[in-house]
Amino acid sequence: MKRTGIIGLAVALSMAVLGGSVAKAADEVSIRLNWYLVGFHAPIYLGKEKGFFSDEGIDLTINEGRGSGVAAKVVGAKDDLFGIADAGTMIIAAAKGIPIKAVMSPMNISPFGVVSRADANIKTPKDLEGKRLAVTAGDSLTQLFPAVIKANGLDESKINMVFVDPAAKVVSVLEKKADALLGSADAQFFQIEAKGVKASALNFADIGVNTVGLSIIAHEDTVKEKGDLIKRFVKAMRRSYEAAQKDPDAAIASAVKSKPDVKADVLKGQLMVDLGLLESPASKGKGIGYGAAEDWDRTISLLKEYRGLKTDRPASSFYTNEFLPGS
């Protein structure tokens, strides 16, 4: 009887352990980045390394991307549970029928802007008059640029638009075939400086034309069916960016461990710019990831006027704050 009792107890303990491990099995989750690894992504790698996602019962896989449009399509097809996409691109994709929605707004100030050689002396929007500006026909930056012209009372006829392929914009500026380009303060700026040329930037947001930047997107079905998982994911994301604010070097170190061929100094420069774009005046103090109605409404208005967005949907239908901690 004694031996039988011991065996029975061992079996019971084994079943309890097994049952506990099954109950606590982590959810396998993947996120599609909007591009190859850049500074903005470093906090996610930090959060994964520090166990913020595993603390929420999430086994996270990070997949590099090839643009916001691709991320929108991948999430819309449910190939990845979450994605990172520029809010403007996401809204246009959703309005065209891709069933996606922003569940977190971690970048509320757009990095879009005019990036130039410092020796071109473009310090104010008015300085663009008489200069050559490298642009790509049809891209989001070129479509929004007329809003910059309008907001700053510029004479468009005095700005020489040099149309080139996206990859040729930086080369054009480096070779002085153009004085500046339409790009991003956290991308082309560092590409120019990496070549030993001092760069300067005028962010659209600082000259009257701000749109919501990068957002975390999910499929509409995920929003309806997996609210608890989204809440846990968003909580881990917020912790990740808060940790990166406190220790940017740790975030860079985590990212470099994942991809040793990236340049840590460039990655840190990008991250420091991006950390300054997390909160807009309208979202300030609401916590990382909060989307302000004022910012989203303005984004919709600009998209309708300058990027051909056709929709009767209110801005609130494209994003939500319901999954943020404390909501």
Tell me the domains of the chain and their CATH numbers. Answer: 26-109+212-317 (3.40.190.10), 112-207 (3.40.190.10)
Nearest to 243 by CA among 100, 53, 47, 8: 47
Per-residue pLDDT tens digits for 51-76 = 999 999 999 999 999 999 999 999 99
pLDDT averaged over the chain? 93
Cα dihedral sign, 132-137-138-139: negative
pLDDT, average across residues 4-17: 52
Contacts of 53 (CB under 8 A, 6+ apart): 29, 47, 59, 60, 233, 236
Q: Is pLDDT at 21 greater than 70 in this prediction?
A: no
pLDDT, average across residues 244-273: 96
Decide: 213 and 283 in contact? Cβ < 8 Å: no
pTM: 0.90
What does the pLDDT read at residue 8? 52
Q: How confident is the model at residue 25 (pLDDT cuts 50, 70, 90)?
A: confident
In the chain, what are the helix, strand and coil shares in percent, each to the nearest 5? 50, 15, 35
Cα(170)–Cα(179) distance, integer angstroms: 10
pLDDT, average across residues 284-305: 97
Nearest to 257 by CA among 33, 39, 6, 45: 45
pLDDT, average across residues 12-39: 75
Q: How confident is the model at residue 10 (pLDDT cuts 50, 70, 90)?
A: low
Which residue stretches of 121-226 are H helix? 140-151, 168-174, 188-193, 220-225
Q: Is pLDDT at 158 greater than 70 in this prediction?
A: yes
What does the pLDDT read at residue 327? 79
What is the percent of the chain where pLDDT is above 90?
Answer: 90
Cα(272)–Cα(23) distance, integer angstroms: 40
Per-residue pLDDT tens digits for 84-122 = 999 999 999 999 999 999 999 999 999 999 999 999 999
